[in-house]
A = this chain, B = another copy of it.
Amino acid sequence: MVTALAALAHEHRLAAYRLLVEAGPPGVAAGEIAARLGLAASSLTFHIQALLRAGLVTQRRASRHVIYAADFTAMNDFIGFLVQNCCGQGAVACTPCAPPQTNLNQAQSA
């Protein structure tokens, strides 16, 4: 869990992650993330690998591009951990992290 915390504990990585959350399952190509964040390509790789190692994002290839996408299940687990371990009172997590509906005709519910 420290890995996930550390992964998000940086301005650029948190921004990258939020970008991916907004984008949902279609994800965003590495180059575009770098451009939007104003980072050199190699720096983006450095940061996004921290997110990848923490399991917070997934990676897939689409022809020449490498597409990254937020892993909503991992975020649920992450928040669940915080609620269970860093709140008193035996608090129960009820965080319905789920991808936004970018396009209603894209079925991706299972």
Contact = CB atoms under 8 A, between A and B. Distances in A.
A96 B86 CA distance: 11
Contacts of A11: 2
A91 B86 CA distance: 20
A9 B2 contact: yes
A88 B70 CA distance: 10
Contacts of A88: 21-22, 24, 70, 72, 97-100
Contact of A87 (B90, B95, B101): B95
Interface stretch (A38-46, A58-66, A77-85): A77-85
A8 B82 CA distance: 10
Interface of A: 1-2, 5-6, 8-11, 14, 17-18, 21-22, 24, 70, 72, 75-76, 78-79, 82-83, 85-91, 93-101
Which 4 residue pairs spanning A and B have beta carbons closest together?
A: A87-B97, A5-B9, A6-B9, A88-B100
12 contacts: A5-B6, A8-B9, A9-B9, A18-B85, A72-B87, A75-B82, A76-B87, A79-B83, A89-B96, A89-B97, A89-B98, A93-B95
